[in-house]
Amino acid sequence: NAGVTQTPKFRVLKTGQSMTLLCAQDMNHEYMYWYRQDPGMGLRLIHYSVGEGTTAKGEVPDGYNVSRLKKQNFLLGLESAAPSQTSVYFCASSYSLNPDTEAFFGQGTRLTVV
């Protein structure tokens, strides 16, 4: 049982390049989330999804797009990377939006934009 798996683990992009981060979960969770974690700041929600085919904006959505074509996968896209998007990105999933239930996080993707 792998839980939440993110690919890739590391990536270096040049300014203006695009890329897609993949998150896969095998727990049949309806809810999935993308966060970014920066030094001196708490995890911040970028986008989230409440089910297959649905997505919604979080706290810091600008510059990112997401898609949830399959229940087990949640993709985060950067169309034109900027140095300000240098960060560690975490995907998470949960059985419910209710925080009574546990959220499971992936191991993270360290992205550097030069």
Partner 1 sequence: SQKIEQNSEALNIQEGKTATLTCNYTNYSPAYLQWYRQDPGRGPVFLLLIRENEKEKRKERLKVTFDTTLKQSLFHITASQPADSATYLCALNSGGYQKVTFGTGTKLQVIP
**Pattern 7-26, partner 1, x by CB under 8 A:** --------------------
For position 48 contacting partner 1 by CB under 8 A, the verdict is: yes
- Within 8 A by CB and 6+ apart from 99, the residues are none
List the one residue from 19, 22, 60, 103 that touches partner 1 (CB under 8 A).
Answer: 103
Residues 59-78 that bind partner 1 (CB under 8 A): none
In order, the DSSP letters of the chain are ---EEEE-SEEEE-TT--EEEEEEESS--SEEEEEEE-TTS--EEEEEEEETTEEEE-SS-TT-EEE-SSTTEEEEEESS--GGG-EEEEEEEES-SSTTSPEEE---EEEEE-
Could you tell me which stretch among 12-20, 62-70, 76-84, 105-113 binds partner 1 (CB under 8 A)?
105-113
Looking at beta carbons only, is 59 or 79 nearer to partner 1? 59
Alpha-carbon distance of 111 to 50, in angstroms, equals: 26
Instruction: State in angstroms the smallest separation of the CB of 16 from partner 1.
Output: 28
Looking at beta carbons only, is 84 or 96 nearer to partner 1? 96
In sequence order, the β-bridge partners of residue 15 are: none
- Chain contacts with partner 1 (rule: CB under 8 A): 4, 31, 33, 40-45, 48, 56, 58, 90, 92, 94, 97-100, 102-108
